[in-house]
Amino acid sequence: DSNPTADTGTIKLAVIPGDGIGQEVTAEALKVLEVASPAGVKFEQTRYDLGAERYLATGEVLPESVLGEIREHDAILLGAVGGKPNDPNLPPGILERGLLLKLRFELDHYVNLRPSRIFPGAASPLSNPGEVDFVVVREGTEGPYTGNGGSLRVGTPAEVATEVSVNTAFGVERVIRDAFARAQRRPRKKLTLVHKTNVLVHAGAVWWRLFQEVATEYPEVTTDYMHIDAATIFMTTDPARFDVIVTDNLFGDIITDLAAAITGGIGLAASGNVNPDRTAPSMFEPVHGSAPDIAGQQKADPTAAVLSASLLLDHLGYADAAAAIETAVIEDLAARTPGTARRTSEVGDAIAARVSG
């Protein structure tokens, strides 16, 4: 990866801590990011108070002017977004569609990158998971996430509601290309397409055709296909078989939460919403949500946010700094005493200390 900011030494970082534990885990991610930055590299942070709190106070989700400002940054660090469950003032989708997905779509984050590894010391619910180390390349800008569709006769017994999954050759091919390139760079060079081609035959056909077409350009990559339902089985019975998975937006959402679960929990799952063409800033965020039930209590594990900061550094071209964070996290996990809970800030401090010294 090239390093677009190395010439100035200043990285313009948009920080969106969001709601609930998003605030706490972002603080720790920033703490670790500071100590991990290579000599001479400076982070210039701008904080954006977006999320449930702002929406409930002002009715604003993501003003156009704010989106414009965010666009001018080199990268975005996001905590988590979402209010209390079933808050009547915050209908489902307002923040997800209006903020999180809006950013992914507007900034063309077509590669939603979600690595999964069983780190030493991490507690998998599987009795025999094996050596798990794979990455899911989830399409991020189309599929069932477009918001297409609508409702007729809302609230009546005659209501009809549709959701339209939109799949373009343009959108499918570019994410498949990215996944093949990633598989080619990895030792095992294996790529699995996950879809449901036997039922979703229209979308399935374009995914299947482009997967076969791009495969001819990567003769060294071993390919494989699995229906989403079968993939959930292998994820619990033989997750070590996976190397790179490419899949659509919704299947990717589902399979990555499952992947997080079997590798030791959502507290460790990091993600990058990547614009590989670098036409807009990429965004890094933990896979977990805002967990309002434990917010403000310093109970959240900030590791997923810290690992997201590592992905951010890697994306910006600072591979060594990224690796240093990952190593520190692995050491921290190995040193954890099962049954002992640390405060959110203690975990951040411990990882930061390992990075610096």
Ligand X SMILES: CC(C)[C@H](C(=O)O)[C@@H](O)C(=O)O
Catalytic residue among 1, 87, 224, 229: 229
Strands 75-80 and 282-286, sheet pairing:
parallel
Stretch that binds ligand X, among 31-39, 94-102, 158-166, 231-239 (CB under 6 A): 94-102
Name the residue nearer to its own copies (CB basis): 17 or 83. 83
Please select the residue that binds its own copies; options are 17, 51, 79, 144, rule is CB under 8 A.
144
Query: Does 296 carry a binding-site annotation?
Result: yes
Q: List the single partner that 164 binds among ligand X, its own copies, none, CB under 5 to 8 Å by kind.
A: its own copies
Binding region for ligand X (CB under 6 A) out of 51-59, 95-103, 127-135, 202-210: 95-103
The gap between the terminal CA atoms of the chain, to the nearest Å, is 27
Q: What are phi and psi of 23, to 5 degrees?
A: -60, -50
Please report how close the Cβ of residue 229 comes to ligand X at its closest, in angstroms. Answer: 5
Q: Active site includes 31? A: no
Determine, following the binding rule CB under 6 A, whether residue 268 of this chain makes contact with ligand X. Answer: no
Is 49 among the catalytic positions?
no
The distance of closest approach from Cβ of residue 48 to ligand X in the complex, given in angstroms and rounded to an integer, is: 17
Q: Is 222 in the site for its own copies (CB under 8 A)?
A: no
What is each CA distance from 25 to 22, 50, 112, 146, 314, in whole angstroms?
5, 16, 20, 29, 19
Question: Could you say which residues in the range 193-252 bind ligand X, by CB under 6 A?
Answer: 198-199, 229
Contacting its own copies (CB under 8 A), which of 59, 68, 155, 338?
Answer: 155
Active site annotation includes 12: no
Judge whether 304 and 119 are in contact, CB under 8 Å: no
Residue 74 a catalytic site member: no
| Pair 306, 315: CB distance under 8 Å | no
> What span, in angstroms and rounded, lies between the C-alpha atoms of 74 and 325?
20
55 Cβ contact list (under 8 Å, min separation 6)? 61, 83, 90, 94, 95
* 66 touches ligand X by CB under 6 A: no
| Spatial distance between the Cα atoms of 138 and 65, rounded to a whole number of angstroms | 29
